[in-house]
Amino acid sequence: MIKVEGLTKKYAGITAVNDLNFTVEKGEIVGFLGPNGAGKSTTMRILSCYLSATSGRASVAGFDVASQSREVRSRVGYMPENVALYPEMRVQEYLEYRAALKGVRGRRNRQRVNAVKELCNLRDVEQKLIGALSKGYRQRVGLADALLHDPDLLILDEPTIGLDPNQIRQVRQLIKDLGKRHTILLSTHILSEVEMTCSRVLIIDRGRIAASDTPEALAGRVRTAGGIRAEIHAEAGDLEKALAALPGVRKAEVEAMPDGWQGCVLRTDAEHDPRESVARLAATRGWALRELGREQVNLERVFAEITQSEELR
């Protein structure tokens, strides 16, 4: 569905996207992640024909975004981070107007407007002024707009920004439902959203793809993202030194807790599991041990590990 080869975009000497290469297959929901300034929004604007690239090539559904932009636009629904709406228009008339601009006219205009209102739960506000809607409803109107021409590809840039937790859950479920019919490229800073919604993750850093895999596989590749968690009753200095000396332990972090207990996190080599050694150490030293287990590796931890270093460690 998406093929990007050697894509580069420069602004007045600043390289926003640098020799970017990736693909998105039909039917995938792909999370597009990266720190601020990494090149996410620039890439999405190029794919949706809002910007031209300095060099390289990008295609959507086999059509080149530079030379066949009309065909690309007819197949892409783009929802930018800040949705530009007409506050003086009512939801119904706005969607009819936008559908007509996209070439959806006559009976099909009414059919598509009704379909997206139903899909985005806008029936209750269809006659309200957009300017009087809550942030959540305005986001839904923006998403409905992107769906009006029934595109093959949806590009969503921070679709849940500014929403409350209940609204985020509703939009998240809507995106999952849309993924049954559309290919979706989703950019967001809410990493738990990506874990629950996306089948694959692309992480961009400094204008290049730093990682591309499933959330689970990325967690397995990041050696220092996980570790061992323990709670031990002991003197902090002696405990930290003893834990750091165990085979396979790269770093031991000890934090004081109430009543003399210490919270311990051990960073380990990927091939080592020191839990048995920790238990033996506690028994030998006469230390009370009330917790010992693996730390949960989530996408937030993986993201930080990848974007804060030059390469995976």
Domains contained in the chain, CATH given: 2-221 (3.40.50.300), 228-295 (3.30.70.1340)
Nearest to 148 by CA among 184, 183, 100: 100
**What's the residue count for the chain?**
313
**DSSP element (H, E) containing 191:** helix 191-197
Please say whether the beta carbons of 229 and 293 come within 8 A. Answer: yes
The percent of the chain in helix, strand and coil, each rounded to the nearest 5, is 35, 30, 35
Tokens of 4: 């990007």
Give the rounded percent of residues in the chain with a pLDDT score beyond 90: 56
- Mean pLDDT of all residues in the chain? 88
Cα 217 from Cα 205, distance rounded (Å): 19
pLDDT of residue 310: 44
Q: How far apart, in Å, are the Cα atoms of 73 and each of 7, 18, 141, 155?
A: 19, 24, 19, 11
Cα 237 from Cα 221, distance rounded (Å): 32
Q: pLDDT (tens digit, 9 = 90+) per residue, 261-309?
A: 999 989 887 677 889 999 999 999 999 999 999 876 667 767 777 776 5
Identify the weakest region by mean pLDDT among 3-17, 122-136, 144-158, 297-311: 297-311
Residue scoring higher pLDDT (219 or 122): 122
Nearest to 142 by CA among 80, 100, 197: 80
Q: What is the DSSP letter of 193?
A: H
Q: Residue 312 pLDDT > 50, yes or no? A: no
pLDDT of residue 82: 84
Mean pLDDT of 58-85: 92
Give the rounded percent of residues in the chain with a pLDDT score beyond 70: 94
Q: Residue 99 pLDDT > 90, yes or no? A: yes
pLDDT of residue 216: 77
Sign of the torsion formed by the C-alpha atoms of 126, 128, 134 and 135: positive
Please say whether the beta carbons of 51 and 23 come within 8 A. Answer: no
Query: Which residues fall within 8 angstroms of residue 253, CB to CB, at 6 or more apart?
Result: 240, 264, 265, 266, 267
Confidence of residue 136 (pLDDT cuts 50, 70, 90): confident
Mean pLDDT of 39-61: 93
Confidence of residue 24 (pLDDT cuts 50, 70, 90): very high
Q: Residue 311 pLDDT > 50, yes or no? A: no
Q: Residue 225 pLDDT > 70, yes or no? A: no
pLDDT of residue 283: 95
